Structure 1
Amino acid sequence: MARALPAVLGGPAGRTGHRAGARPAHGPRRSTNDPRQEGPPVSDRDDGLAEPTPRLLHRRIAAGDARVAVFDRVYAAPIDDVWDACTNPDRLARWYVPVRGDLRLGGRFEQAMMGSGEIVECEPPRHLRVSLGGGADEIELRLTEAGPGATALELQHATTIAEHTIGGQVFDAIFCMGGGYYPRLLALDRHLRRALPDGYDPLVMHENPAMRPAIERGSSAMAALLAATASRARD
């Protein structure tokens, strides 16, 4: 299918370790002063629809047993508009990252700064599944109508990777997803509302001071989710 590529999808990055070696971690702090971030900042204010609800599942993917981070949220936009924002390269470059390649079922694509992937399943405008990092990760995007002019999004990121090394520090791979998906889902919300500033640069999203609260909320949410999962496993 044309334009069938991932929305808020991140590829495996950094060095990885065996799942048994995964450890709790806190998110890395980064500079918020970046001259490349031009124009007014994206607003971090929410209306209650934009905050994701994270869950943690387990399932088997082609590369093996995987932990699955699930992010649910509702957008105040019709399903066709959300699907187009998540699959149209011109729109992805505004709020996600530039994506290029053979954007059809079975095609391969490259994400700027985030690696390559392959489109495995595509059923517009409701379901998309891609593999990343040679199959170590899989992403599924599911869209359903949630009332007049609203769309429920379920994003699942399954990974067989235990850890990422960032700036010399080791972080749980699931923990890292919070600081990546929360601000990107917020940027998608602003893009759909035509409220994303003209100068917003998704390639330096983590250096944008207006995105710092979303990054920190995402990191905190995933840390709490991992802690609760570990506590249940001990009981």
Structure 2
Amino acid sequence: MIDIDQVNATHRALGEMPVAGGAGRSLLLRRTYDAAIEDVWDACTDPDRLSRWMGAVEGDLRLGGTFQLKDNAGGDILRCEPPRLLAVTWVMGPGMATEVEVRLTPAGDDRTTVELEHSTPAEILDELLKQYGPGGTIGAGAGWDLAVLGLGLHLSGADVDPATWEDTPEAKEFATRSSHAWGAVVQQTWGGTDEEIAAAVAFSVQHYAPEA
């Protein structure tokens, strides 16, 4: 059973972060887990554990190596500083090279704060906004929210099947609430009318929770 109210446990923001030496814009998610930093790091980097909450991963999993998530993105491993920092390129298709950075910080006894920042070159994001509007950004945020939720479920000992759990009614309701939360962030940061944001949120909900 998924506690849908976990959607309120994540801080969300839009910002700017350089990508490959150039200007970039980013999605930032921050959440604190009841787990030691070494455990969280292991869950984010060990292939067996990744397969239990995010998806099967293959590749030359070392600094300078490559990775490929099944039915998802692949890329290069740019930085790896256990147990605090992992940075990779995140490539979904030709001309879509973005970067993801995961930062871990101790937050007291056996608690860890995780920051996940996904940065896109400004020129690529501007083109995506022309095609999909802010709904694409909201959808990307909701997708990462589901990953952050999956990590939390795994760390709590829940039995998560990454191939199916996102299709459950609870996960779809979570994605719907996440889309609305990201809509508020987009409107506060970039502006937009209530009608424009509502349409963008609906675009994200239709992708992640088509029955909602």
Q: TM-score, normalised by structure 2?
A: 0.78
> Which stretches in structure 2 are left out of the alignment for 5+ residues?
193-212
- The answer on 1:220 being equivalent to 2:183 is no
Residue type at the aligned position of 2:155: L
Residue type at the aligned position of 1:170: Y
Looking at structure 2, the residues matched to 63 and 131 of structure 1 have their Cα atoms a distance apart, in angstroms, of 13
The answer to whether the Cα contact below 8 Å between 2:4 and 2:173 also exists between their aligned partners in 1 is no
Higher helix share: 2
**In the alignment, which residue of structure 2 is the partner of 1:26?**
none
Residue type at the aligned position of 2:61: L
- Structure-2 change in CA distance of 1:115 and 1:164 (3 Å): farther
Looking at structure 2, the residues matched to 151 and 82 of structure 1 have their Cα atoms a distance apart, in angstroms, of 7
Looking at structure 1, the residues matched to 53 and 90 of structure 2 have their Cα atoms a distance apart, in angstroms, of 20
Looking at structure 2, the residues matched to 164 and 93 of structure 1 have their Cα atoms a distance apart, in angstroms, of 32
What is the RMSD of the two structures over their aligned residues, measured on CA atoms? Answer: 2.4
Looking at structure 1, the residues matched to 139 and 22 of structure 2 have their Cα atoms a distance apart, in angstroms, of 20
Residue type at the aligned position of 2:182: M
The answer to whether the Cα contact below 8 Å between 2:4 and 2:174 also exists between their aligned partners in 1 is no
Residue type at the aligned position of 2:111: A
**In the alignment, which residue of structure 2 is the partner of 1:73?**
31
* Deviation of the 1:65 alpha carbon: 2.4
- The answer on 1:170 being equivalent to 2:132 is yes
Residue type at the aligned position of 2:148: L
- The answer on 1:184 being equivalent to 2:144 is no
Match of 2:103 among 142, 150, 156: 142
The answer to whether the Cα contact below 8 Å between 2:32 and 2:114 also exists between their aligned partners in 1 is yes
Query: Could you tell me the percent identity over the aligned residues?
Result: 39
What do the CA deviations read for 1:9-58 (whole angstroms, capped 9, x no partner)?
xxxxxxxxxxxxxxxxxxxxxxxxxxxxxxxxx4224579x721001111
The answer to whether the Cα contact below 8 Å between 2:4 and 2:170 also exists between their aligned partners in 1 is no
The answer to whether the Cα contact below 8 Å between 1:120 and 1:129 also exists between their aligned partners in 2 is yes
The answer to whether the Cα contact below 8 Å between 1:70 and 1:156 also exists between their aligned partners in 2 is yes
Residue type at the aligned position of 2:150: A
**Where in structure 2 are the equivalents of 1:8-23 lying within 5 Å?**
none
> What SS is found at the alignment partner of 2:52?
helix
- Structure-2 change in CA distance of 1:212 and 1:118 (3 Å): same
Greater RCO structure (CA 8 Å; 6+ sep): 1
- The answer on 1:202 being equivalent to 2:177 is no
* Deviation of the 1:147 alpha carbon: 0.4
Looking at structure 2, the residues matched to 94 and 164 of structure 1 have their Cα atoms a distance apart, in angstroms, of 33
- The answer on 1:154 being equivalent to 2:112 is no
**In the alignment, which residue of structure 1 is the partner of 2:203?**
none
Looking at structure 2, the residues matched to 63 and 217 of structure 1 have their Cα atoms a distance apart, in angstroms, of 35
Q: Which runs of 4+ in 1 moved over 6 A?
A: none
> Which stretches in structure 1 are left out of the alignment for 5+ residues?
1-41
What do the CA deviations read for 1:149-184 (whole angstroms, capped 9, x no partner)?
10011110001333389xxx9354421222212222
> What SS is found at the alignment partner of 1:215?
helix
Residue type at the aligned position of 1:143: L
* Deviation of the 1:190 alpha carbon: 1.3
Q: TM-score, normalised by structure 1?
A: 0.71
- The answer on 1:101 being equivalent to 2:59 is yes
**In the alignment, which residue of structure 2 is the partner of 1:230?**
190
User: Which of 117-126 and 130-139 deviates more?
Assistant: 130-139
**In the alignment, which residue of structure 2 is the partner of 1:24?**
none
* Deviation of the 1:203 alpha carbon: 2.7
Number of equivalenced pairs: 184
Looking at structure 2, the residues matched to 110 and 126 of structure 1 have their Cα atoms a distance apart, in angstroms, of 22
